[in-house]
């Protein structure tokens, strides 16, 4: 398991571009801006007309569990298309922030091909897992959260001692730097607790987060579980941590 990186390795990662991560961020933003959810396209109308266009958009490109297992090729593609569709500005910006912060280092360590397979494959399976657990639901499921959760899982395995800046409510939202092995399992525990309180209705698909997180961690373990040739040194912080 990758436990530490030398200072030279940390510098190399910080200086390495992350084309897959940046492309994914750009695609998600582009899809959102040209879709009816952004409200920027006059052709989508306004008021009730805009809401109707948004509902049709989600049903076409999102995952509808009740339709997924009917054998339609179009429905089987929706766990892939849903990864690029978001339900609002806050949904988009929150996901892209997590992807940008954790994706670049994970991509640099895994390589572009393995990172792409982790993101797309685990993201698809995360949405599929949620749909299987809520097979009768008629609600549309959209968003890259399952795939980004897989990136978080992979990051935890690869950089468990990396310092992550967190805002903790019980500390009045003061920024605290904690190792990834503390922050990310705590985040996963919150998802687990929240998933137990949901009933498959509209809202956040916490189960997809959990499935993606576990798959990402497992994928990194399969790919890098026997890697031991590293020198002991403090692990680097995620990209963007020290930015104002």
Catalogue the active-site residues: 145, 209
Question: Given CA atoms 125, 119, 235, 182 in this order, what sign does their dihedral have?
Answer: negative
**Which residues make beta-bridge pairs with 168?**
174
Give CA–CA dist 125/208, Å, rounded: 9
Q: Rounded to whole angstroms, how far apart are CA atoms 184 and 204?
A: 18
Closest to 149 in 3D by CA, of 213, 96, 208, 104: 213
Token pair for 92: 């988009």
Give the distance from CA 113 to its chain's centroid: 17
Q: CA-to-CA distance for 216 and 214, rounded, in angstroms?
A: 5
> Three-state secondary structure along 174-199?
EEEEEEHHHHHHHHHHHHHHHHCCCC
DSSP string covering 134-188, please? TTT--S-B--SHHHHHHHHHHHHHH-TT-EEEEEEGGGTTEEEEEEHHHHHHHHH
Q: Which tokens is 75 given?
A: 């429905």
């Amino acid at each position: 398991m990758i436990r530490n990186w030398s200072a030279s390795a940390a510098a190399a990662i910080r200086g390495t571009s992350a084309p897959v991560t940046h492309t994914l961020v750009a695609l998600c933003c582009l899809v959102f801006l040209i879709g009816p959810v952004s409200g920027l396209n006059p052709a989508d109308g306004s008021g009730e007309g805009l809401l109707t266009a948004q509902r049709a958009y989600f049903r076409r490109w999102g995952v509808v569990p009740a339709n997924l297992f009917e054998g339609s090729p179009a429905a089987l593609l929706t766990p892939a298309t849903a990864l690029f569709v978001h339900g609002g500005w806050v949904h988009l910006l929150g996901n892209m922030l997590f992807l940008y912060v954790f994706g670049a280092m994970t991509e640099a360590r895994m390589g572009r091909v393995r990172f792409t397979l982790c993101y797309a494959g685990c993201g698809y399976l995360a949405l599929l897992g949620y749909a299987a657990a809520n097979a009768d639901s008629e609600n549309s499921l959209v968003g890259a959260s399952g795939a980004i959760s897989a990136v978080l899982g992979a990051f935890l395995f690869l950089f468990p001692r990396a310092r992550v800046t967190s805002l903790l409510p019980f500390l009045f939202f003061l920024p605290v730097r904690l190792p990834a092995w503390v922050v990310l399992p705590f985040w996963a525990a919150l998802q687990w607790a929240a998933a137990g309180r949901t009933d498959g209705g509209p809202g956040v698909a916490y189960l997809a987060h959990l499935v993606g997180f576990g798959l990402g961690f497992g994928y990194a373990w399969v790919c890098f579980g026997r890697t031991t040739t590293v020198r002991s040194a403090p692990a680097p912080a995620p990209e963007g941590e020290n930015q104002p």
